[in-house]
Amino acid sequence: MSIDIWSQCQGINHIQVLNETAWRIVGTDGTAMRKLVDSYEEQEILENMINKPKLISIKENQRFHPLLIKPFEYRSYGSRFAKKSELGLWYGSLHPETTMAETAFYQFHFLRASEASYSLVKRQITLFSTKVRTEKAIKLEKSPFSHYTKLISAPDVYKASQQLGTAMRESAIQAFTYQSARDTKKSNNIALFTPKAFRHHKPDAKSFQLWHCIASDNFIEFVRTNSIIRETKIFSLNQFLVNGVLPFPAG
């Protein structure tokens, strides 16, 4: 039986204001799924097959930009703070490099999802930011929740964090921050239960950055393409291993 962290910490007494800039990465050109089919027409059919059963239409959400609202319109496949039976969350990070670390972790899993052998897989991604502002927030990296960081941000088990996510959702929490399980610098991620926590209906217009994500079996490299100054970020497979094994994402 997992620990009821919300009750142990008397979470309802630690609700506070959250005012942050959240960074998120999205795929730009759809090349990841394109590799699985023979044409763009088949890619569209495949995407509709995957997404349609989970689509949830909420009229009041239509005023938000798709990059902000899309995660809320689907039931969760299972994530760190959401069970498969629950609505999805919008996940981001407080620093660009942290969201790259999170993306790198999932990219390694993408490469291992097929028995096919790849040399290098290249795809274009977009990094952007948006403002988050709510009075119904929790900072899980702060006391008293920080006493349970090893459970909340465990790299390979998610039962306690999913139970905590359910408790926060039932307590009408709109957004929260927590320590990343993938970033070696232990920087913080951010997650939203509802688009009501966004300060604006659109992402920050000046924040958009184009990057190339270059993946191999042992490293993931991010290279910025729309900048005069060359920027690169490299993540090795070893930094994500637990006892020599790449842990599965939450499900």
Each residue's pLDDT tens digit, 31-83: 555 555 555 555 555 455 445 545 555 566 778 999 999 888 888 889 999 99
Tell me, yes or no, whether 14 lies in a domain.
yes
Query: Is 28 a member of any domain?
Result: yes
Residue 221 lies in a domain: yes
Cβ contacts of 170 within 8 Å, gap of 6 or more: none
Mean pLDDT for 186-201 is 97
Q: What is the pLDDT of residue 106?
A: 94
Identify whether 248 is part of a domain: no
> Is 116 inside a domain boundary?
yes
What integer is the mean pLDDT of 180-202?
A: 97
Residue 110 to residue 116: CA distance in whole angstroms: 11
Lowest pLDDT segment from 6-15, 58-67, 178-187, 230-239: 58-67
User: Taking the alpha carbons of 89, 93, 97, 102 in that order, is the dihedral positive or negative?
Assistant: negative
Q: Report the number of distinct structural domains present in the chain.
A: 1
> Facing residues of 128 across strands?
24
CA distances (Å), origin 218, targets 109, 112, 234: 12, 11, 10
Is there a cis peptide before residue 195, judged by omega within 30 degrees of 0?
no
- 97-141 pLDDT, tens digit each: 999 999 999 999 988 877 766 678 899 999 999 999 999 999 999
Question: For residues 147 and 179, what is the distance between their CA atoms, to the nearest angstrom?
Answer: 12
pLDDT above 70 coverage of the chain, percent: 85
> Which residue shows structure tokens 């040399």?
119
Cis status of the peptide bond prior to 249, with omega within 30 of 0: no
pLDDT at 228: 83
Q: Report pLDDT for 73.
A: 83
The whole-number pLDDT of residue 251 equals 84
- 56 is in which domain, residue-wise? 5-240
Does any domain span residue 245? no
Question: Would residue 214 count as lying in a domain?
Answer: yes
Residue 247 lies in a domain: no
Note the helical H segments in 149-229: 149-152, 159-170
